[in-house]
Amino acid sequence: AARGASNFETLFALGVLCYFGAHFLLHTGINVGILPVTGTTIPFMSYGGSHLLAEFLALGVLSGMGAYARPHRRDAGGEWSGGYDQ
């Protein structure tokens, strides 16, 4: 997430991380008995249809952001910037 070439990529990766992290904490709390049992689906395990599609779509977009090579360019100070190999 920190290596994103733009603020959008960094914030999108952070949002996906929070999404999966919240599901992890929710289901951990349910299994331990701290939280009441709800009808939420387990990521990548439930047959949730649209939920499963949204998870794979988010991971696919993240993978696409990481695979897309950006050209290097010079900033105002003459330094090379851009791309993921910095």
Each residue of 36-80: pLDDT tens digit? 988 877 888 777 788 889 899 999 998 888 777 565 555 666 665
Ranges of H-type helices in 1-86:
7-32, 50-67
Domain assignment present for residue 2? The answer is: no
Res 86: pLDDT:
46
Residue 76 within a domain: no
In a domain, 48, yes or no: yes
Q: Is residue 4 part of a domain?
A: no
81 in any annotated domain: no
Beta-carbon contacts of 69 under 8 Å, excluding residues fewer than 6 positions away, are 83, 84
Please give the tally of structural domains in the chain: 1
Boundaries of domain holding 25? 13-65
On whether residue 44 sits in a domain, the answer given is yes
